[in-house]
């Protein structure tokens, strides 16, 4: 049976760890240094669900404001949006709402449907330095109708679960419509 293809986009302020999360999932590696993503990187992740194969194309968009227009272009046709912030950096949390609104404006939402996605509090290995706690993160996720994850690209905590959810949820919502 042919694989089902879905598209996810991963967005957030610079340095929150978007590329690190993708890299951790794809290669199991972690890099200490930050190399800013220029424009966007594409990767494909394959999942074997009991119902069949799913391939999720992940578009990792550079967080610099220069790429705002590009981000909106890539959003069109996406099945899942992964919003990432760094739990040790308040400013990156503040960026979530404007990002959500900018992307939400790009689609025509029908009835009670919301933008499908996840809110990811990354750098959970630095929890002792966190300035945004779980309660605040979950509140924001509820408000925006997003699934909440706390991840660490350094330790790998919850990284597979987060990408797995993106694929499973894309499939579930697409099948229903």
| List of E strands, 105-150 | 117-122, 147-150
Q: Looking at the chain, how many residues does it have?
A: 177
Q: Does 122 bind Mg ion (CB under 5 A)?
A: no
For position 95 contacting ligand GTP by CB under 6 A, the verdict is: no
**Nearest distance from C-beta of residue 110 to ligand GTP, angstroms:** 31
Least spacing, CB of residue 61 vs ligand GTP, in Å:
7
Per partner kind, with CB cut-offs from 5 to 8 A, the member of Mg ion, ligand GTP, none near residue 137 is none
Name the phi and psi angles at 41, rounded to 5.
-115, 140
Q: Is 57 in the site for ligand GTP (CB under 6 A)?
A: no
7 near 42, Cβ under 8 Å?
A: no
Q: Kindly state whether residue 128 participates in binding ligand GTP, applying the rule CB under 6 A.
A: no
- Pick from 6, 47, 58, 63: which binds ligand GTP (CB under 6 A)? 63
16 binds, among ligand GTP, Mg ion, none (CB under 5 to 8 A by kind): ligand GTP
Q: Are 119 and 99 in contact (CB under 8 A)?
A: no
What are the DSSP E strand ranges found in the chain? 4-12, 40-49, 52-61, 80-86, 117-122, 147-150
Among residues 78, 152, 158, 170, which is the contact residue for ligand GTP, using CB under 6 A? 152
Residue 122's Cβ-side half-sphere holds a number of Cα atoms within 13 Å equal to 26
The piece of 101-109, 121-129, 141-149, 169-177 that touches ligand GTP (CB under 6 A) is: 121-129
Q: How far apart are CA 177 and CA 173, in angstroms?
A: 6
Q: Which residues bind ligand GTP (CB under 6 A)?
A: 12, 14-20, 31-34, 36-37, 62-63, 122-123, 125-126, 152-154
Q: Which residues bind Mg ion (CB under 5 A)?
A: 18-19, 37
């Amino acid at each position: 049976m042919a694989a089902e293809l879905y598209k996810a986009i991963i967005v957030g302020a610079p340095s929150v760890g978007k590329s690190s999360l993708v890299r951790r999932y794809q290669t199991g590696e972690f890099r200490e240094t930050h190399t800013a993503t220029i424009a966007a990187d594409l990767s494909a992740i394959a999942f074997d669900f009991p119902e069949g194969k799913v391939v999720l194309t992940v578009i990792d968009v550079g967080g610099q404001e220069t790429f705002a227009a590009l981000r909106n272009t890539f959003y069109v046709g996406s099945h899942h949006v992964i919003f990432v912030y760094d739990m040790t950096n308040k400013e990156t949390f503040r960026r979530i709402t404007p990002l959500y609104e900018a992307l939400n404006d790009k689609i025509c939402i029908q009835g009670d449907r919301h933008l499908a996605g996840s809110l990811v509090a990354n750098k959970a290995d630095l929890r002792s330095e966190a300035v945004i706690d779980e309660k605040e993160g979950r509140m924001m996720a509820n408000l925006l109708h997003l699934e909440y994850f706390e991840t660490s690209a350094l330790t790998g905590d919850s990284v597979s679960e987060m990408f797995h959810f993106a694929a499973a949820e894309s499939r579930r919502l697409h099948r229903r419509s």
